[in-house]
Structure 1
């Protein structure tokens, strides 16, 4: 779908007049004709793009930017006020609930306890606010994409380079930079209070729950940036945002998670093991939460276990002070010194401390003996959804995912330190060169379920994971993706999802799923404030008063920027760090969201030709009718002619398979030159046993053939029996040799986890054996029949001779 069509179909009716006037901006890019269109010349040349045209276009563009920015700002402030008002209402209702249960407080006991209708009304109000946040996020995303597209079209058609210059204007009014995480956290808390009727689930937020007698299932999905806010709002209506410190105000830095992965760059042992999922494969990483000032570093080891072993994959860790990390990894600080303070405090049992010491000793030994070095850092902001103290359902969404090089190959990055110190948590790390960072284009959704055997996950989770909002990517790993992307000269074995990174994962909505605005109720809100009572006049005044000068200096580009009409009334304010970083996104080729490079559609050309008239219009009209007729004939022939028909799949709700449209697109992905894609293969012990059973079956068959050959050789008297015996002997020997080679080859491929078809299916061996046996039997039958014919012929000649002699004698 072209962006213009997508914009028109995605507009929210209430926000209609505040969207970017994309069609008007497109028309502004077209200059007047040199001569009026006529029948002889229906498409005359247009006048060249002039400075006056540029000034008019920039003025229109600035007015559209002002309109979008001011509406987004005022709407965001309105949502803040509504959340604050709803928070006061919820606290009032909850306080009445507490007062009804505590009769000792005379003031509260006089108030009537809240009813179910009160909580239902609050839930409707919060659902309406959630829908507003969703609509505002969609509004922001569509308009930001619209500005990117129209600037790209301007630079392509006119030859005037506006894109790098307009970045400063766009960052001076950064309507697209609003972070909705604070809204999500606040709405999650309020909605959880209302949903549980003032009795939210309490527990330790850091608790992992009881792991015994539960089967843990983890699935990973990619989420396109367009769907991140909507996905968060959907999840918070079922699970609250997990906040470790509810008393602290939300800060974006609190959600930052950074991890340093270690490996040996000479053999990439840990990368290979984690990619191939070999039994016992390990990953060692150092993780901290928050900013660079965090003093608590977690040393973790993840160990992969195959299901057939009866064990589960394990993640074990212990904490360490940041100042002791280098000494611990180098072996200068012993394990006993690390846990000496813990033993003195006595907060943990001796058994727990002993287990931690054993873990620390093993990690220290591996780092030293295998010469492990920091290679890859992963950074992301995590939003976790979980009931406190209940780990049966845990959902985490990682956004702004970045992978950064930590090695010293080529140049010094981390040096002798365990991590590099030239960066922190300042996403998008614009100070790094492109070869040092990989910015992942999607968010990563991880769903962890702990359900009893045979128990189905909740229906809303099944609907979520089967919706158009997510793309399933089994076995996705941030460490594997980052290492494969950042070390292309060293890594030749890449994961299966790497060649698919250029495929757009967005899908059309196949069914109604997502945020829906609640049905309007006749009841008033708890603060008795109608939409007409809100500060609509003030909002309108702000919209008019905010048409002001756009400040912000121009960055250095080709030519004199102060001569460009975009900078006609600047006051020379210096961009701050956020604006400089945000300006970077427009300096690069934007993500190909829509096929909008060819915006002049056939309908536009036909409409323009219709106004001109003449033969040109009739030619275009005939061409369009011929095209439609041809398409109709092709579809009709496809329907009438007998041909193989694809099997129609059941609805997605029944099979769990999302079918997009009536057609399927099959694309073969190939690895880059010099690299090989590793396809994950699940290998269980029964695969080895099946290979052994197949080998034993071949041996049994070969022994049977050898027995037949020996019997014929011992009891045969003529050359036919001897020939058949040799045939069966050769067949038995070839079968023995073939089965031995095949068994060794299969075991080797299974051990290497190679997805080879002949490992599980063999068509040439049985075919050759069958043809050989048939040939031997037919030859034996033919020779025997021929021998019988010779004997009968000789017997007939003998009888004839005998009869002639008797007649002569008579």
Structure 2
């Protein structure tokens, strides 16, 4: 969708006059025609862009920037005042409730009613909707300025982008951080929702939680949807504040982790990517700025489901000043926990477990020569009931991966356990491009602890299936950062890499998102009161129904927004599918169509390597490839010529968008890794997979033995026909034996390497065996009948 169309479909009615006039600015970039348009030349050449045109355009652009900036400042101040007013009202109601409970009520004072709390909840919901609308307004206008500047530079060849960047910094309407609003509203909404009795418990993020197991699913969130997602979650779960007595500070949400690995073998990266049994990740994590004194040493261990164990994360705390000595083995494990043992706050068994963990990590770092390789930084907003870990949702924004190694002749961390030239100053402008990867999305983690057979809350299911998130199972910051920052050393890429090139934004889900109370005056374009897909008068704006002066604005807004995406609200507003879902929902041309060409990439890589080396190996591989392609082409031609029934093509219903339909063909994108690299497709391997392959081989072996026994029996008859039949059955038995042995070895090799090779089933072997057995029996019967002279009778 073009931005002008996106702007029209995303307008908020109450903010209608304060958006960037994108269409007017775009028209200002068009100079008059040199000659009048004619039927033969409807688009003649335009006059060249002059300095006067530039000054005129810049003046208009400055006016639009000033309009947007002023409105954003005013609206932000209004939200702050409304939050303070709501806070005052909530505190007054709760104080009155507390006086009634304690028996110190004033004369004529009554306890707060359910209606009082409902009114407070509606007021807060309205404020939440205001924050949502302002965030959308800011994001949309910032995108508009970026788009129009890009269009200006392209159409006029005058470079305005660097100059206007300074003017944007002078009026940074887009730099407002809404996290403070979210935290404050979360606290107030939780007080009102629980009627003044919020759930209390331990909110500690580190100290009390040493070993914990959760069912975790991960999602990507587009930057446009971050604030809306936070506001939706806070209406169900409060923001988890680790220190409620302290005023909210942005740096309190910062989390940094240093991941370790062997820079020669990359064994920890490979193990975590392939999800091998017992694969470990070792990292050092701290919360807040670089001045944090407490460092958590963590080890994550992957366990396969068939083992009956769960993947677990274990950690212990270490003082920052002792980290280098501990990792080098100069500091003993006993001295690390000496103070903990003296304090007596933990039992001897807990301390012994921590000592065992520290001893194993220290041994692993020293013996495996593990060094710091990748740092991940992000700001985390966690949502959870204090002391209740059944549902925990965290949203990591401003995710950044940074190189920490000393490779390529640069001393980044030196002999220290982390580099010291950066802190939490996102976006880390001092770093060279090759040292940093700024992840374009936020990462949502939904962590559930539910009993067997228990379903997660309904709102969680709605959230994770909405347009706001894109599921990316098993996404890892360590794996992604290492693969991106080490392009010359990492050749095995995670399976989500091709997904980075797909726009994860989706059409708005029907009746899901931030909504205002029914009696509220304002609403956004997503509300039901203004449905622009209806042409009749039965669907009107709120102002139209009441017959007030807002009906004219609603009419003009509807007329302005006629260019919406025809697929956005198809089928009554049901959420349309994203790119991968649309591809998966359509039948593909081949039943063995590979989504990732991992095997082909291996063959092409081997061919390229042989071509560089030269010699007969290259010509052998090239001839093999040509013969395989010629054989495939011959099979396709035979399948087209063969007189077999062909499926009738089903006409497209137009439900597929994004350029995926060409006639009646579904155009599916094949993801291909760069030369020399391979996409790792996760394959789950359990012991029963090996047993299944072995049972299949034994079945073939049993069949071959039966055929061999038949052949041996026929030899005992001694005549010519029996000898010929015995030879036929013996040949078939030997072929079946060799074929099954080769197939078994191939399958075991692929299973051991965890390769998803499209299909493990045998399409040709059973058919060929049946045909050969039928031919042998038919020939045997024919010879016997001929010898006995049955045809002569």
Q: Report TM bin, short chain.
A: 0.7 to 0.9
Distance 1:758 1:505, change over 3 A: closer
> Paired residue for 2:603?
none
Distance 2:651 2:214 in 1: 37
Gaps of 5+ in 2: 522-562, 564-646
Preserved contact between residue 255 and residue 380 of structure 2 (Cα < 8 Å): yes
Return the match for 1:690 from 678, 689, 692. Answer: 692
Deviations for 1:503-542, whole angstroms, at most 9, x for unmatched residues?
11001124221011111169xxxxxxxxxxxxxxxxxxxx
Distance 1:697 1:52 in 2: 86
Distance 1:726 1:23 in 2: 85
SS of residue in 2 equivalent to 1:153: helix
> Paired residue for 1:322?
320
Distance 1:372 1:35 in 2: 72
- C-alpha displacement of 1:739: 2.3
SS of residue in 2 equivalent to 1:354: helix
Runs ≥4 in structure 1, deviation > 3 angstroms? 35-44, 207-212, 642-649, 658-665
Preserved contact between residue 399 and residue 444 of structure 1 (Cα < 8 Å): yes
Return the match for 1:271 from 262, 269, 275. Answer: 269
Q: Which has the larger radius of gyration?
A: 1
SS of residue in 2 equivalent to 1:743: helix
Preserved contact between residue 326 and residue 362 of structure 2 (Cα < 8 Å): yes
Distance 2:652 2:109 in 1: 65
- C-alpha displacement of 1:678: 0.5
> Paired residue for 1:589?
none
1:484 aligns with 2:483: yes
Preserved contact between residue 215 and residue 451 of structure 1 (Cα < 8 Å): no
> Paired residue for 1:59?
59
Distance 1:333 1:209 in 2: 22
Size of the aligned set, in residue pairs, is: 664
Out of 33-42 and 335-344, give the one that drifted further: 33-42
Distance 1:675 1:417, change over 3 A: same
Distance 1:156 1:299, change over 3 A: same
SS of residue in 1 equivalent to 2:139: helix
Trace 1:699-710 onto structure 2 (pairs within 5 A): 699-710=701-712
Preserved contact between residue 208 and residue 391 of structure 1 (Cα < 8 Å): no
> Paired residue for 2:453?
454
> Paired residue for 1:75?
75
Distance 2:685 2:122 in 1: 51
Deviations for 1:538-559, whole angstroms, at most 9, x for unmatched residues?
xxxxxxxxxxxxxxxxxxxxxx
1:345 aligns with 2:343: yes
- C-alpha displacement of 1:473: 0.5
> Paired residue for 1:421?
420
SS of residue in 1 equivalent to 2:401: strand
Distance 1:646 1:682 in 2: 37
Distance 1:227 1:137 in 2: 9
SS of residue in 2 equivalent to 1:221: strand
Distance 2:138 2:431 in 1: 28
Trace 1:526-545 onto structure 2 (pairs within 5 A): none
> Paired residue for 2:504?
505
Preserved contact between residue 510 and residue 660 of structure 1 (Cα < 8 Å): no
> Paired residue for 1:393?
391
Trace 1:24-43 onto structure 2 (pairs within 5 A): 24-38=24-38, 42-43=42-43
Preserved contact between residue 20 and residue 65 of structure 2 (Cα < 8 Å): yes
- C-alpha displacement of 1:695: 1.7
Distance 1:241 1:130 in 2: 14
Distance 1:4 1:190 in 2: 38
SS of residue in 1 equivalent to 2:431: coil
Preserved contact between residue 209 and residue 389 of structure 1 (Cα < 8 Å): no
- C-alpha displacement of 1:765: 2.0
- C-alpha displacement of 1:661: 12
Distance 2:48 2:177 in 1: 42
SS of residue in 2 equivalent to 1:376: strand
1:746 aligns with 2:744: no
Preserved contact between residue 715 and residue 722 of structure 2 (Cα < 8 Å): yes
> Paired residue for 1:371?
369
Deviations for 1:749-792, whole angstroms, at most 9, x for unmatched residues?
21221112453x01222122112211211211221222133x87
> Paired residue for 2:626?
none
For normalisation by structure 2, the TM-score amounts to 0.81
Preserved contact between residue 207 and residue 388 of structure 1 (Cα < 8 Å): no
SS of residue in 1 equivalent to 2:498: helix
Deviations for 1:85-133, whole angstroms, at most 9, x for unmatched residues?
0001001111111111101x355x8631100000000000000000000
1:515 aligns with 2:517: no
- C-alpha displacement of 1:215: 8.6
Distance 1:57 1:648 in 2: 45
Preserved contact between residue 96 and residue 105 of structure 2 (Cα < 8 Å): no
Distance 2:724 2:181 in 1: 89
Distance 1:37 1:773, change over 3 A: closer
Distance 1:83 1:510, change over 3 A: closer
Deviations for 1:618-647, whole angstroms, at most 9, x for unmatched residues?
xxxxxxxxxxxxxxxxxxxxxxxx944489
Return the match for 1:669 from 657, 668, 671. Answer: 671
Preserved contact between residue 213 and residue 313 of structure 2 (Cα < 8 Å): no
> Paired residue for 2:437?
438
Preserved contact between residue 660 and residue 668 of structure 2 (Cα < 8 Å): no
Preserved contact between residue 208 and residue 390 of structure 1 (Cα < 8 Å): no
SS of residue in 1 equivalent to 2:501: coil
Distance 1:792 1:754 in 2: 56
Preserved contact between residue 320 and residue 338 of structure 1 (Cα < 8 Å): yes
- C-alpha displacement of 1:662: 11
1:250 aligns with 2:251: no
Return the match for 1:198 from 178, 196, 201. Answer: 196
For normalisation by structure 1, the TM-score amounts to 0.79
Distance 1:519 1:691 in 2: 62
Distance 1:731 1:35, change over 3 A: closer
Preserved contact between residue 132 and residue 514 of structure 2 (Cα < 8 Å): yes
Distance 2:437 2:660 in 1: 36
Distance 2:98 2:657 in 1: 50
Distance 2:659 2:195 in 1: 42
Deviations for 1:695-734, whole angstroms, at most 9, x for unmatched residues?
22112111111111111112x1311101111221222223
1:679 aligns with 2:681: yes
- Which one scores higher on RCO, CA 8 angstroms, separation ≥ 6? 1
Distance 1:676 1:112, change over 3 A: same
Distance 1:197 1:2 in 2: 46
Trace 1:638-653 onto structure 2 (pairs within 5 A): 643-645=648-650
Preserved contact between residue 300 and residue 316 of structure 1 (Cα < 8 Å): yes
